[in-house]
Amino acid sequence: MKIAKNYSIWELNKPFNIGMVHLKPLPGSPNYSLSIEEIYEAAKYDLLQLIEGNANAAIVENMFDSPYTNKINLETFTAYTHIFTRLKEISSIPLGVNIHSCDKDQEMIIATICGADFIRAESFVESRYTSFGIMNANAHLLMRTKRYLNSNVKVFADINAKHSFPISSIPIEVAIKDAINAKADGIILTGLETGNPPTIEDAKMFKQICKNTPLIIGSGINQDNIDDFLKVVDGVIVGSSIKENGIVENPVDLKRTKALFDR
pLDDT at 127: 87
189, 162 contact by CB (below 8 A): no
Calculate the alpha carbon distances from 153 to 23, 105, 113 in Å.
Answer: 21, 12, 10
Q: What 3-state DSSP class applies to 129?
A: strand
Q: Which CATH class is domain 9-261?
A: alpha beta
How far apart, in whole angstroms, are the C-alpha atoms of residue 246 and residue 207?
Answer: 28
Parts of the chain with a pLDDT under 50? 1-5
Alpha helices in 67-199 (DSSP H): 74-90, 106-114, 139-148, 172-181
Q: State the Cα–Cα distance between residues 10 and 218, nearest whole angstrom.
A: 18
| Contact status, residue 97 vs residue 84, Cβ threshold 8 Å | yes
- Strand order from edge to edge, sheet including 133-135: 133-135, 128-130, 165-166
**Residue 185 contacts residue 142 (beta carbons within 8 Å):** no
On whether the CB atoms of residues 90 and 50 are closer than 8 A, the answer is no
Query: Do 188 and 218 meet the contact criterion of CB atoms below 8 Å apart?
Result: yes
Nearest Cα residue to 156 out of 129, 123, 128:
123
CA separation (Å) from 67 to 71, 72, 100, 120, 124? 12, 11, 10, 19, 21
Closest CA to 225 of 253, 186, 189, 260: 260
| Total length of the chain | 263
DSSP element (H, E) containing 57: strand 57-61
> What residues contact 70, with CB distance under 8 A and at least 6 apart?
101, 102, 103, 104, 132, 133, 134, 135, 136
